[in-house]
Amino acid sequence: MSNIVAIVGRPNVGKSTLFNRLIQRREAIVDAVSGVTRDRHYGKADWNGKEFSLIDTGGYVMGSDDIFEQEIDKQVELAIEEADAIIFVVDVETGVTGMDEDVAQLLRQTDKPVLLAVNKVDNAQREADAVEFYSLGLGAYFTISGINGSGTGELLDALVEVLPEKEEKEEEELPRFAVVGRPNAGKSSFINALIGEERYIVTDIAGTTRDSSDTRYNRFGFEFSLVDTAGIRRKARVKEDLEFYSVMRSVRAIEYSDVCLLLIDATRGFEGQDQNIFWLAERNKKGIVILVNKWDLVEKDTSTTKEFEKQIRKTIEPFTDVPIIFISALTKQRIFKAIETAVEVYQNRSKRIPTSKLNEVMLPVIEHTPPPSNKGKYIKVKFCTQLPTAMPQFVFFANLPQYIKDPYRRFVENKLRENFGFHGVPIDIYFRKK
């Protein structure tokens, strides 16, 4: 299980640019206009062999300065509560502002590791200007440029040093199925329907569910832990940013799980936050089952289910080999089918293919459709094997692996799925020098 690192700071200091730099991909929209980061962004990062989940805490509300400050304070408080470490981003161009001082005051009260990153430092003059940030009382700072990457290596070196060690999941523990999704999708109602008791309080107020809680469950002769981000919201937190909190909790649940049951609200569709949680589970290499809840509330004709499923699969390309089940926690429609499917996905995730069988099936497929030649050089794959890891990972040995591109990698993945299953499970494929 990896740590959670939150990036905090006032608007327009370059949090999203730094986020993109650290996860080495452009997922967050970066723009010079304050307020463009409405949705939060979540990604996996790796530095010096240490993995962690990264959260960009954008999503502040457009409005008066007072609303800005309130929203930023909420997110910083949540980050302090939920994250294992915090990167506080400030802007050397504007210097220390009142809002920076407010955030720093909150951060000085925590015992969580806080790294102060002075952004947009790309010349000697700005390096000198950064000295004023000592006044925030957070100790040493790191001068960085999110745009060109300077200083981010030193920041990451320091980050992985302060991240707490996480205990590895013991092998004898039960398989864990995490019920995740945006607020008010029906997660608690789903678990209540499964266990046949009102174990979790269910209301129509988004965000009632608070803390992660496990239910030991046995179905189809298979015992496992069912994990819901459950509990009762404290009254003092009624005005907090529930959407942000929900995702922070989902990150935790996903990190601990083997299979994620992603509940979406059929009356709202497969929205941006649902997609964020889906890709977070995929990046963590967890098994995934998508449950379209409240299907009883949707007006249907003969093609409604097919069209709804088609839209979801289009959105999650290229990883489309995912079970999608239409359920109703209220009427208990197909809720046991959901669990049966989750068990199958768990078994797919732990599936082992004998090396002899893998080569017997895959080498003729590759010989019939070899990788495209590159500058007159022909690529030959001679051997393949499954790696001894918790999730399906395969390595193919070739004479020129550096010339194999992503489209061919997807072709091989599709053939593996076609011949061996792995429905609902992300697959990693590596090509290595023979």
Alpha-helix residue ranges (DSSP H) falling in 316-427: 335-349, 355-368, 406-420
Evaluate whether residue 167 is within a structural domain.
no
- Most distant pair of Cα atoms in the chain: their distance: 69
Q: Are residues 149 and 215 in the same domain?
A: no
Domain boundary at 103, 137, 162, which?
162
Q: Are residues 417 and 317 in the same domain?
A: no
- CA separation for the pair 312, 427 (Å, rounded): 20
Q: Are residues 267 and 217 in the same domain?
A: yes
Check if the beta carbon of residue 395 is closer than 8 Å to that of residue 387. Answer: yes
Domain boundary at 317, 350, 383, which?
350
Q: Which residues of the chain have pLDDT under 50?
A: 25-39, 59-64, 170-172, 199-211, 230-240
Evaluate whether residue 99 is within a structural domain.
yes
Q: Are residues 145 and 46 in the same domain?
A: yes
DSSP letter at 83 equals: -
| pLDDT of 240 | 45
Tokens of 346: 């768990």
Q: Are residues 310 and 346 in the same domain?
A: yes
In 222-272 the beta strands, taken as DSSP E runs, fall at 222-230, 259-265
Domain boundary at 350, 368, 397, which?
350
Q: Which residues fall in the annotated binding site? A: 9-16, 56-60, 119-122, 181-188, 228-232, 293-296
Cβ atoms < 10 Å from Cβ of 262: 27
- CA separation for the pair 202, 186 (Å, rounded): 8
Q: Are residues 79 and 226 in the same domain?
A: no
Evaluate whether residue 332 is within a structural domain.
yes
Cβ atoms < 10 Å from Cβ of 297: 11
| pLDDT of 277 | 84
Evaluate whether residue 374 is within a structural domain.
yes
- Cβ-in-10-Å burial (0-12, 13-18, 19+) of 14 comes to buried
Q: Are residues 10 and 106 in the same domain?
A: yes
Evaluate whether residue 246 is within a structural domain.
yes
Q: Are residues 135 and 267 in the same domain?
A: no
Q: What is the DSSP string of 177-228?
A: EEEE-STTSSHHHHHHHHHTS--S---SSTT---EEEEEEEEETTEEEEEEE
What CATH number has the domain bearing residue 13? 3.40.50.300
Q: Which helix (H) or strand (E) holds 315?
A: helix 304-315
What CATH number has the domain bearing residue 415? 3.30.300.20
Q: Are residues 217 and 336 in the same domain?
A: yes
Structural domain for 145, as ranges: 4-162
- CA separation for the pair 360, 351 (Å, rounded): 17
For the entire predicted model, the pTM comes to 0.66
Give the β-pairing of 222-230 and 287-293: unpaired
Q: Are residues 12 and 151 in the same domain?
A: yes
Q: Are residues 342 and 425 in the same domain?
A: no
Q: Coil, strand, or helix at residue 59?
A: coil
Evaluate whether residue 171 is within a structural domain.
no
Q: Which residues fall in the annotated binding site for GTP? A: 9-16, 56-60, 119-122, 181-188, 228-232, 293-296
The number of domains in the chain is 3
Q: Are residues 154 and 180 in the same domain?
A: no
Peptide bond into 318 cis (omega under 30): yes
